[in-house]
Structure 1
Amino acid sequence: MSSKKVIIFSAPSGSGKTTLVKYCLDQFAKLQFSISATTRQPRGEEKHGVDYFFHTPDEFRQKIALDAFVEYEEVYTDKYYGTLKSEVERIWDLGNVVIFDVDVKGGVNLKKIFAEKALSIFIAPPSIQELENRLIKRNTDDLETIKTRVAKAEEELGYAQYFDEVIVNDDLNQAKEEIAKLVGNFIEA
Structure 2
Amino acid sequence: MTVDQTKRRGLLIILSSPSGAGKSTLARRLRAWDPDIAFSVSATTRAPRDGEVHGEHYHFTAEADFKMMVAEAQMLEHAHVFGHFYGSPKEPVAQAIDRGHDVLFDIDWQGAQQIRNSDLGTNTLSIFLLPPSITELHRRLISRGQDSDEVIEKRMRKSWDEISRWDSYDFVLVNDDLDQTEAQLKTIISATRLRRLQQPQLTDHVRKLQAEFEDL
Q: Output aligned runs, 1:111-130, within 5 Å.
A: 111-113=116-118, 114-130=120-136
Task: Give 1:16's aligned residue.
Answer: 22
Deviations 1:96-123 (A, max 9, x none): 1111111221112222334431110011
Larger Rg: 2
Alignment coverage as a number of residue pairs: 188
Task: Give 2:214's aligned residue.
Answer: none
User: In the alignment, is residue 148 of structure 1 matched against residue 158 of structure 2?
Assistant: no
Task: Give 1:62's aligned residue.
Answer: 68
Task: Give 2:78's aligned residue.
Answer: 72
Deviations 1:113-137 (A, max 9, x none): 3443111001111122211111111
Deviations 1:14-48 (A, max 9, x none): 11101111111111244211111112233342211
Shift of 1:91: 1.8
The 2-side partners of 1:137 and 1:124 are apart by: 18
Task: Give 2:87's aligned residue.
Answer: 82
Moved more, 121-130 or 138-147: 121-130
Task: Give 1:47's aligned residue.
Answer: 53
Query: Any stretches of 5+ residues in structure 2 without a counterpart?
Result: 196-216
Deviations 1:146-169 (A, max 9, x none): 000110011110111100001111
The 1-side partners of 2:19 and 2:46 are apart by: 14
Cα distance, 1:170–1:29 mapped onto 2, change above 3 Å: same
Counterpart among 145, 157, 162 of residue 168 in structure 2? 162
SS at match of 2:15: strand
**Contact kept in structure 2, 1:108 and 1:163, CA below 8 Å:** no
Task: Give 1:92's aligned residue.
Answer: 97
Task: Give 1:181's aligned residue.
Answer: 187
Moved more, 142-151 or 63-72: 63-72
Q: Under a length normalisation based on structure 2, what TM-score does the superposition of the two structures give?
A: 0.80
Q: Under a length normalisation based on structure 1, what TM-score does the superposition of the two structures give?
A: 0.91
Structure with the higher fraction of residues in strand conformation: 1
The 2-side partners of 1:187 and 1:44 are apart by: 37
**Contact kept in structure 1, 2:16 and 2:107, CA below 8 Å:** yes
Task: Give 1:103's aligned residue.
Answer: 108
The 2-side partners of 1:181 and 1:95 are apart by: 18
The 2-side partners of 1:70 and 1:28 are apart by: 24
Shift of 1:145: 0.5
